[in-house]
Every structure is written in C-alpha cells, then in structure tokens.
Amino acid sequence: MPHVRRRLAAATAVLAMTATTGAVASPAFADPRETEKSATATGYGGAVSTVDPEASAAAIEVLRKGGNAADAAVAAAATLGVTEPYSAGIGGGGYFVFYDAKTGKVGTIDGRETAPAAMSHDAFINPATGKPYPFTPELVTSGVSVGVPGTPATWERALERWGTLSLGEALKPAIKVANRGFVVDETFRQQTLENKVRFEAFTSTSSLFLPGGDAPAVGSIFQNHDLAETYRTLAKQGTDGFYTGPLAEEIAATVQAPPKSPDTELPVPVGHMTAADLAAYKALDQDPTHVEYRGYDVYGMAPSSSGGTTVGEALNILEPFNLADMPASGALHHYLEASALAFADRAKYVGDPAFVNVPTAALTDPLFGKERACQINPAQAAVPKPVPAGDVTNYDGACPASVAPLADEKDTENISTTNLTVADKWGNVVEYTLTIEQTGGSGIVVPGRGFILNNELTDFSTVYDPADPNRIEPGKRPRSSMSPTIILKEGEPFLALGSPGGSTIITTVLQTILNRVDLGMTISEALAAPRAAQRNTANISAEQEFIDAYASELEPLGHVFTKAGDSFTSLPEIGAATAIEFGPGNRMVAAAEPERRGGGSAMVVTPAP
C-alpha cells in the first residue's frame, strides 16, 4: 500500500524542481500544508471524510466559518480537483445527494457527462480495421472518449438549491491550494508514473505533470497556477465561464484535435464535442431511489446511475434472510449471490432514462427483490454465472417456476473516482461521488487550463446493440455505478457513505452496509474490512485479505475467487470509501479508509473529548 502523507519538517524542506505549473521549489514553512491523515474522527459541529487532507481541511474551514454541508462539499470537491487530479476535477462529472434537515427530504443532482450531439453509434470502431479500438490505452486515451463535463454545473446547482455561499466563495480554498501547492505523496507519484506513456502523448499534459520528463518527487510541492486561474474564471463568471466563451471553445478544440506530442505512438482517436454541446449541458434535479432495509430508509442515485437501483435491489433480495444470526461466511455468501442477481438486472434494464424506459420502480420494489431472493440457495452458489435477469413485467413476490434468458454483464468501468461525505451542525448531509473515469481520465489536459478531460464515454458498451440499454446515443449519459447513499433511521440521518471503484462501487457500498447493519461492525471497521465484488461473473474479484479469511469456507459452496488487481493500475484493493455515522446528541463519526489508496482523511469541527 502507498504510504500515508507525512508532514514535512520545515528545516528539511528542500525541494528540487522549479516550474511555472508543476512541482516547484518552495519552503514548506511558508504556508502550512495539510499532510496528516486520520481514518476516524469523532465529534460535533460538522464532519467530513475524503481521500485527501487538503480537501477535508477545506470543508472544515467552510463549516467553521458558518457554511453548510453543500458549501463545504463543493469546496472539498474543488480542492480534490487540485490534489487528486487523476480521479476528479472540472473535466468530469458525478452525482450529488443531499439530505435537507429543514424538510427531512433527500434530493439529488445528476451531473453525469453526456455524449456529443455528433457522436455516432460506431464511434468506438476503428474505421481503418472495422474492429473496436482496444480499450487500453487506445480508446481511453482519446478525444472520442471525452463526454461533456458536468462537474461545474453540479457545483453551481448544488449551491443554488442548498448552499449559502456563491461559487466564487466556495472555490477560495481550492484556489489557495492550487497556488501555494500541496505536498506530493507516493500515491500521486505512483499514479503519474503509471500514466507516463499516456501523459507523454500530449504536450499540455506532460508539461504539467511530467516536468523535466519525470513525475514530481515525493515530498516536493506541486502547484497548478493554470487551474487556479481557471477557478478564478468560474468564480467571476459562474459556469457561463466554462460552458460558453473562450474556455468552451478551447475544450471543444482540444477534444477535436488533441495536442499530441510529435513522438507519441498512440493513435489518439479524435472526438466530436463542440462548443454547442457544452452550452447545451444541464445538471439534472432528480428524486432519489428509496428502499427500506431492516427498518432503515436507504436513499440512492437514480438512473443514469445504476447505483441506487442495484444497491437497493440487492438489499431487497437480502431482506428476507436473517444474516445477523449467520456466521460471517454465510452472510457473505448471501451478499455475493444477491449482488450477482442485482447485476444481472442492471445489465438488462438500466441506462439513461431519457433514452431507455428504465423500470426503476420495479427494480426497487420489495416484492421483486423477494422473488429474486428465491434464486439464492443458502448452501450452494448459483452456477454457471452470469445468472439470468428477472422479469420486471411479471412478479408477485412468489418463487417463479422459470427465469428469463441470461444477461451478460458488460463491465468497462474503471476504478478511478473519488467520493466525499460532509455533514454540518444543522444536520444537513452530502454524499457526493465525482470522477473523470480512468486514473488520469483521457490523459488530455486542456492547454493552459490545468485540468484533465474525462474518458467517461467508455462507460458505454463498445459495440452498438439496439437491445442494450447502455448503447451509444448522441446526447446520452452513459450508465454509471456511482452509488452515493444516505440512510435515515426514523427520519433522521443514520449513515452516509459512498466509494470510488468503477462497478465495484456498488459492491463496496452494499458490503459496507452489510458489515455495519447485519454484522454489527462499527463504521470504521465496516470500511476497513476486506472486500469482494461479485458482478455476475464466473470469478469473484477479491482482496487478498478476503481470500485469506473466507475462501476456505466459500469455495466449497461454488464461489471462485481471483485476486483484485485492475489491468491498468494493478491495484490490489477494491474501493476507497468515505462515510459519516450519526449518533445521539449530534455526535458524528467520520470514517475514511485506513490504508486503501494511501489512507483517507476524516475530520470534525469540534473533536469529542
């Protein structure tokens, strides 16, 4: 695992690199930087959990100055765009879930990227060969994979609906961090080096993230003055400064003609985005998904995300089983089987509801879940997998005699995303997952603007199939697995959580709920526990710790495990969750990963004694 960032001693802060944007020489004592991480923080007055101490500190600063959870979430997200630029930023999109303490209601914003109007059904087919572009690195490192970003519109809409600050005020902490820089840790350097070939393919990217031809050194200070100036544009002009005018023209030009380095061997297929696509973008207000589980009200993100429907359906499938009285291996067997069933239905039914008739009500209906639960054998895993999808047009909660044809899950989502959880002293709660898709997105920095463009359109199915709900369509939002989730108990917040991790986001959130609600773990234990992800595939991706702990009991039931490790980043871990649990007397426990992705950062406004 990468080491946690450590505070640098002022006397030994000697930094080697100099550049206008990038790692620069700067004494660490000139402006104290946030480098220390704590995976759990307990206290009052507000709380935050993110993957990064600078982002968590930005949120806490806003809360201490009287801002609310929406304000603090935007401030943290903007700061993550500086310190975690390979996972998030204004070149991407995401989903924002908000619990309003005044109304007791949960609302959401769909800030997912959209396909350009000129994108064709065969956009991912190489015209020279008639075959799909190889996913890595050709398709992910391209203009054709770039969707119209939704993050700036999400920030502005969240502040309009629920915030107290202007966008400019919420961006101030991020502008400060971008200007004075942050301390490079091993995770940042490692991710840069893993993307070195892709970043070298673009003059704008290599000049920012590979100064002198190498990734910034661990312990150096990385500044991004270009991004600070871009944030200032947004602060002055609002999102009009992003979706219209010179910046919109530059984004479109970058997608249509990526700034390729003369010596790159990557083909870099060009994209179709225009300034008109950017001007037409809208972040969408939507109702959340909702299911009841063990007396809790679980709210999630509706399509275009598949997170709320799939997590919700899996919980409905698990509801009839008394998992708390089972040994851990028995509860995990049911979790894995329920996940496979829910993923089968995800593949068959879920896409952008503007283009596909998504049966959200049926997928989250407890009767449908009860009927799907009939497919779980407590003593045997269903084989072969993938298992069949259920019939959303004909169910009554009784066990059926037959099932529908197989639905083969198509999983092209990558692991790189980030998540944050924020709560304020008034009881408002934010769960926000945002992303640029691949670690390093498309690899393309908009020249002179300091941010990477996403490659989110690779979440569409590669080959066009009219029956596939996730087929490519102009103007469509690709199906996502992001699963920001807020859980209420008797109308009051109990738990908020989410995670990065591509399609393993769903399984991470689901398993964490199982750990906390059914297996009785604390929220910190639930996040730290080893994970396995069954996404309706023959083999289950699992962390080594999970295999060591449970494979001997689960393999005799028919489960087949493979060690987690993405082909692009070779990460042996699943997810990197954040959460806040709410207790008596307004007490909050903020929890982050203790080790995954270098560990997360949990903070509270006023620590408990």
* Spatial CB neighbours of 263, under 8 Å, sequence gap ≥ 6: none
Name the nearest CA neighbour of 601 among 311, 313, 182, 28.
182
Contact 252, 275 (CB under 8 A): yes
Determine phi and psi for 166, rounding to 5 degrees.
Answer: -80, 165
Residue tagged 């499938």 (tokens): 317
CB-based burial label for 572 (10 Å; 0-12, 13-18, 19+): middle
User: Which residue out of 83, 108, 239, 417 is catalytically annotated?
Assistant: 417
DSSP string, 560-581: -EEE---TTT--------EEEE
Name the nearest CA neighbour of 575 among 514, 532, 518, 524.
532
Query: How far is it, in rounded angstroms, from Cα 156 to Cα 247?
Result: 17
- Compute the residue count for the chain: 609
3-state SS assignment for residue 210: coil
Is the alpha carbon torsion for 111, 117, 122, 124 positive or negative? Answer: negative
Query: How far is it, in rounded angstroms, from Cα 29 to Cα 31?
Result: 5
Amino acid at 451: F
Residue tagged 């991790």 (tokens): 501
In angstroms, the first-to-last Cα distance of the chain is 31
Name the nearest CA neighbour of 528 among 581, 602, 592.
592
Angle at 437 between CA 432 and CA 443, to 5 degrees: 130
Angle at 480 between CA 357 and CA 230, to 5 degrees: 120
Query: How far is it, in rounded angstroms, from Cα 191 to Cα 442?
Result: 14
Is the alpha carbon torsion for 568, 80, 505, 478 positive or negative? Answer: negative
Assigned token pair, 535: 């996404």
Q: What is the largest CA-CA distance in the chain?
A: 74
Assigned token pair, 53: 């101490």
Name the nearest CA neighbour of 42 among 604, 495, 421, 492.
604
Residue 524 Ramachandran class (φ > 0 left, ψ -120 to 50 alpha, else beta): alpha
Query: How far is it, in rounded angstroms, from Cα 452 to Cα 307?
Result: 25
Q: Write a three-state SS string for 523-539.
A: HHHHHHCCCEECCCCCC
Contact 472, 460 (CB under 8 A): yes
3-state SS assignment for residue 292: strand
* Spatial CB neighbours of 215, under 8 Å, sequence gap ≥ 6: 188, 189, 192, 193, 196, 209
Active site residue 417: yes
Q: Which helix (H) or strand (E) covers residue 307, if one does? A: helix 307-318
| Cis peptide upstream of residue 262 (ω within 30 degrees of 0) | no
3-state SS assignment for residue 61: helix
Query: Would you please indicate which residues are annotated as catalytic (active-site) residues?
Result: 417
